[in-house]
Structure 1
Amino acid sequence: MRPTALDVARAAGVSVATVSNALNDTGRASAATRTRVREVAASMGYRPNAAGRTLRTGRTGVLALAVTTFGEQTWNFAEVAYYAQMVAAATSAAHAHGYALTVLPASLDVDGWHAVSADGVVLLDSPEGDPAAEVLRARGIPIAFDGQPHQLGPRDSWVDNDHAATMAKVLGHLREQGARRIALLAQNTSDHYTRDCVAAYRAQVRTPRIALLDSTDPVGRAEAERLLREGADAVYGLLDDSGRGVLAAADALGLRVPDDVLVVTASEDPTYASTSPPISTVSLRPADTITAAVDALAATLAGAPPTVRADLATDLVVRASSTRRPSAGRGGRLRS
């Protein structure tokens, strides 16, 4: 028979109220009493009723995670390596703080957000005017953003990579390899990542060459062809599939990678190490970023002030696509 709080109280020589206070960190019981009650409860295999604890404390013991970039559009973000790493790391970080983690669907509408039962929420790639953030703030639920939000509520934290430093790292590498007309492939969205990366690029090049992609060209092949026809000798893609799009565009135009055009893409996809040629990638180190976000959220729930930081490091993994071979030049010929 499953032990009850009354059984624990009798075994520990305390009241049922003291058992509740000791196990929920409430009330005025001494540290010694709390320790004794917890030891007795553990030895008896007692577990508090989750629903009852929620009613008593107002806490669910659950954190939620969601990607809200595209509003209510249905897509399986967990299939993307970047987000898959985030989900795994967020789960571990939540458990380390004593929370369960629930991953919410990208298609959740406003009514769904009103029904979410969680102590705090981590929002990834939140766009401007994100209705999810508005609902959560109205409900008094703390938020931790992956990336600086357009608006910041009183209980909101955010963490981010240093996108200006990352852009400088990529541009510096490409320039060292001889590139002089570096183009940028980005998505036509208002999320923090795109906004900050585009701003950093504009600030660090004399003549910006930017292509903003829409849903009709998700990998960027058509826009990459345009950039290459206009003379770009290197392309940095901000999207997971950008590398393949640029390779396809260069091949269609008879240009060689890396001899005629250098390529770098932001991605956690390990298969870029085996493309022909292998493509240089920027890793945003999603496990580190999401762990920092969950840590910030847990700290807020424990009573600490919200966290704000944009100093998380990234890695540039240099491969053949951005390493110009000796004596190589732009010798390819555009096909008409």
Structure 2
Amino acid sequence: MWRVPGPTLADIARAAEVSTATVSHALNGTGRIGDATRRRVRETATRLGYGTPGPQRCRTLGVAVTTFATAWNYTEIAYFSRAVTAATSAAHARGYALTTLPADRAADDSWHSLAVDGMLIVDSPRGDPMVRALRARGIPLVFDGVPGDPHPGDHWVDNDHDTTTRTVLDHLADSGAHRIALQSGSGDEHYARAVTAAYERWCGERGTAPLIVPFDPADGQGHAFDALLGRRDRADAVYAAYDPGGRQLLAAAARHGLRVPDDLRVVCASEDPAYAATEPPVSTVTLDPERTARAAVGLLVGLVEEGPAAARGPVVVPARLLVRASSGAQPAAG
């Protein structure tokens, strides 16, 4: 094992100028102590590297999605559900348990004392407090997606979002589309920024103005597309970079009396197999979360068991466009 034992409760107590009992209460979330004291103790513990496992590992890995600071159930999204399932299977095959953490970074700072040998962090944004805390503790990290604040020697698994985005846009253009819009993510994760930047470059190369619609997961009927689809120079194709976007577009097209694909071509990045049964079936981009998760767990176990020299990264997992009727038809005559 390549890490060294961290400080004791007594070390933290001396540094924070409190008793060891107060330290214990602060780290375990027990006792009647003030919020300011609890926060000071936890920050001191993190700064000193408390919680770093010694030679005896707990044979547990963790996984968290830290894109947003608010609570949301990422296991309901097909990509994350499939990634977590594959990561669990890969961890078990290597003799490790896998702990899935909730996504609410604002309310849950359990990473200060979380007992894991390593963490897989998905879609880490810039300024991610979980990453800062785990780095301070010396916990090995592997990222699904380029981290918001990459450090030298970081390891991650990701897709080539520039190539994938261009593949989708070229496909839509080849099918006859002239005004192609992007439904872009609203988060600060690398995925949203990379897809948007690739789309803007593609538009710039062709001298067309970008048409970007912000993604709203609560907009089930796709009202965010109303302005885009209701004008005379409306978009005739949309690439939705997030899972619900395909259904939002089908709903919006129906509301505006547009036929898919004759009037509006649709491609959606999603791992949901139900898109093959919509009317019409929606073309999707698969990012292959199973392969990504397995590769990430493999990197993480290597870091835990052999140290930084054992792992190699970044790893690029190919994405794939599954063409269905929503984008494959020729433009209507006339």
Q: Shorter-normalised TM-score: what interval?
A: 0.7 to 0.9
Partner of 1:207: 209
CA spacing shift, 1:210–1:82, aligned 2, 3 Å: same
Scaled by the length of structure 1, the TM-score of the pair is: 0.77
Letter in 1 for 2:77: V
Matches within 5 A, 1:186-197: 186-197=184-195
- What is the identity percentage for the equivalent residue pairs of Structure 1 and Structure 2? 48
- The answer as to whether partners of 1:185 and 1:220 remain within 8 angstroms in 2 is no
2:145 aligned residue: 147
Alignment correspondent of 1:309: 314
1:225 alignment partner in structure 2: 226
| Offset at residue 244 of structure 1 (A) | 0.7
Distance in 2 between residues matched to 1:125 and 1:150, nearest whole Å: 8
- Secondary structure of 2:178's aligned partner: coil
Partner of 1:93: 90
Task: Please report how far the alpha carbon of residue 95 of structure 1 lies from its aligned counterpart in structure 2 after TM superposition.
Answer: 2.2
Alpha-carbon separation, structure 1, partners of 2:100 and 2:65: 9
Offset from partner CA, 1:136-170 (integer Å, 9 cap, x none): 11111111111111222456311110001101110
Post-superposition offset of 1:110: 5.2
Question: Between Structure 1 and Structure 2, how many residues are aligned?
Answer: 276
Cα contact 1:162–1:310 (8 A) shared by 2: no
Alignment of 1:128 onto 2:126: yes
- Please state how far the C-alpha of 1:214 moved relative to its aligned partner: 4.2
Q: Secondary structure at the match of 2:148?
A: coil
User: Which residue is equivalent to 1:286?
Assistant: 289
Structure 2 partner of 1:256:
259
Considering only aligned residues, what root-mean-square deviation do their CA atoms show, in Å?
2.2
Unaligned runs of 5+ in 2: 2-51
Query: Structure 1: how far apart are the matches of 2:128 and 2:219?
Result: 22
TM-score, structure 2 normalization: 0.77
Q: Return the index of the structure with the highest Cα Rg.
A: 1
Candidates 295, 315, 329, aligned match of 2:298: 295
- Against the structure 1 CA distance between its residues 265 and 55, is the aligned structure 2 distance closer, same or farther, given a 3 Å change threshold? closer
What residue is the counterpart of 1:319 in the other structure? 324
CA distance in 2, matches of 1:224, 1:203: 22
Which residue number in structure 2 is paired with residue 76 of structure 1?
73
The aligned amino acid for 2:327 is S
**Cα–Cα, structure 1 residues 93 and 239, in superposed 2: closer, same or farther, change >3 Å?**
same
Structure 1 residue corresponding to 2:248, chosen from 245, 250, 263: 245
Over 3 Å counting, the alpha-carbon distance change for 1:304 and 1:262 in structure 2 is: same
Post-superposition CA distance 1:172-212 (Å, at most 9, x none): 11111101111000121111110111111111113211112
Distance 1:141 1:56, change over 3 A: closer
CA distance in 2, matches of 1:220, 1:191: 25
Do 1:147 and 1:159's aligned partners in 2 also have CA atoms closer than 8 Å? yes
Preserved CA contact (<8 Å) 1:202 1:208: yes
Is the contact made by 1:279 and 1:322 (CA closer than 8 Å) also made in structure 2?
A: yes
Distance 1:91 1:65 in 2: 9
Structure 1 unaligned runs (5+)? 1-23, 25-53, 332-336
